[in-house]
Amino acid sequence: MHITRTRYAPSPTGYMHIGNLRTALYEYLIAKKDNGKFILRIEDTDQERYVEGAVDVIYKTLKLAGIEHDEGPDVGGDYGPYIQSERKGMYLDYAKKLVELGGAYYCFCTKERLAQLKEEQDSAGHGHRYDRHCLKLSKEEIEQKLANNEPYVIRQKMPDTGSTSFEDAVYGTITVENSELDDQILIKTDGLPTYNFANVIDDHQMAITHVVRGNEYLSSTPKYNLLYQAFGWDIPTYVHVPLILKASGQKLSKRAGDPSFEDLVSMGYLVEAIVNYVVLLGWSPSTNQEIFSLKELEEVFDISGISKAPAIFDINKLTWMNGEYIRKMPVEEFDKLAKPFYEKTLVNKNIDTLKISKLLQVRTEVLTTIPETIDFINELPDYDINMYVHKKSKTTLENSLESLNSAYPILEAISDWNEETIHTALFSHIEALGIKNSLMLWPIRTAISGKAVTPGGAIEIADILGKEETLKRIKIGIEKLKSAIG
């Protein structure tokens, strides 16, 4: 029975950028949709780019995103080892086998000769490609050079004529003229495989059925297929995905300051929202639904929904989606997520944060905005007196002073201070005065928050601040208004 087997094969070079995460998600979802297997393989043969601790970053990120692999270095499986450097002994044997099959050849050209060739091609205005100098060597010459331990690489022998076609699940039939294909290196002088060669061998050995990768690999796929054909192996289904671009049309890049998955998490975005958004970068469901859990995506994801057009990473759209996720969760869960931000910001540790969370949840899109939203709870900012003047509420400096003066004794008289008692006292007072609610509530909110925009109104803020702090701030407001009016 045919089992879908996909693999995510990152190089341990540091963080996981958005494109990597999307590839992992698509590979994972293709496998899950078919009740197949999702494999993690670490491709670490490029030692120059290896970053210490990067493998842990890969494990941590996949775990955080909820992407569980069925096989991999840490969980084992029947197709290991799952770390490329632990497989390195076999690649040379495969390359030698390919030489026997006529699909590859030894190349003994020195760095100097190759540099000179490149210089000549530059001068002539040609593209860079190997001139097949070593393809002319006789069997005896090759054996002699090997016996003398001359350094060599093994190159793939491309067909001289015709073209190579393949079917891509997203882009359809792709055809490349064989004359455009360079005789790429398969084994380097150190005996290690190039990325392109190791990839093919590993995918075959691990019985991989679907390969997801960026569309920048479209043009090199015929080289892979010629290797599969030379060995007489089944070719996997290719799923080339579009680029992810910024609104400016440039590629996302960590160097240009674009966020990685870890950055987005530390910026206050929820993992579930990031995962949901990243899947939609270049894929559309068959319905208008936009909010999906990973479980739902496992059921509805289909390769036919992947677009050919580049996807645009829009932080505003992610922010909107994050807000949707925040609003859908129970307030207790939001309070738990917000706790670290409260602990960092609030000086008074006795404040009931659940009260703050009830106000913040509907107004928060990104968790990192919490500190600047609640900083006024610690201390009253030095605010502009003209904040008391509000056209819609019909407040002026004069009537604001009247409202604060009349509200002070009413609030002072409350013995059991809570939202309900404050509400009852103030609204009875407003009714007795026969004024509009806002004429009383706007000046109080301004006096106790010192901010133009706050989570919650005067009553909720007064409840959170407590009686003593509320009265102290109203007093400051009264003095400020008195000296402004003169």
Bridge partners of residue 437, in order along the sequence:
none
**Residue 11 vs residues 84, 248, 349, 356: alpha-carbon distances, Å:** 10, 28, 45, 44
Element (H, E) at 435: none
Q: Which is nearest to 42 in space by CA: 24, 28, 26?
A: 24
The strand order across the sheet containing 163-168 reads: 37-40, 5-8, 210-214, 237-241, 163-168, 172-177
Helix 419-433 with 437-449: angle, nearest 10 deg: 130
- Classified as helix, coil or strand, 290 is coil
Q: Which is nearest to 238 in space by CA: 214, 263, 204?
A: 214
DSSP E strands in 28-112: the ranges are: 37-40, 104-107
3-state secondary structure 152-179: CEEEECCCCCCEEEEEECCCEEEEEEHH
* Euclidean distance between CA atoms 280 and 291, whole angstroms: 10
- Classified as helix, coil or strand, 417 is coil
Q: Which is nearest to 264 in space by CA: 244, 278, 249, 284?
A: 278
Residue with tokens 């950055």, as numbered in its chain? 263
Length of the chain: 486
Element (H, E) at 130: none
Phi, psi of 173 (to 5 degrees): -80, 125
Q: Which residues, other chains included, contact 467 with Cβ-Cβ below 8 Å and sequence gap of 6+?
A: 411, 414, 417
* Euclidean distance between CA atoms 381 and 453, whole angstroms: 13
Q: Which residues, other chains included, contact 457 with Cβ-Cβ below 8 Å and sequence gap of 6+?
A: 441, 445
Bridge partners of residue 6, in order along the sequence:
38, 210
Determine contact, residues 448/478, Cβ cutoff 8 Å. no
349 annotated among ligand-binding-site residues = no
308 included as an active-site residue: no
CA torsion angle for 18, 19, 25, 27 (degrees, to 10)?
A: -160
* Strand pairing class (172-177; 163-168): antiparallel
Determine contact, residues 191/92, Cβ cutoff 8 Å. yes
Bridge partners of residue 251, in order along the sequence:
245
Which residue out of 254, 339, 394, 472 is catalytically annotated? Answer: 254
Binding site: what residues are annotated? 254
Binding site for ATP: what residues are annotated? 254
Question: Which are the catalytic amino acids?
Answer: 254
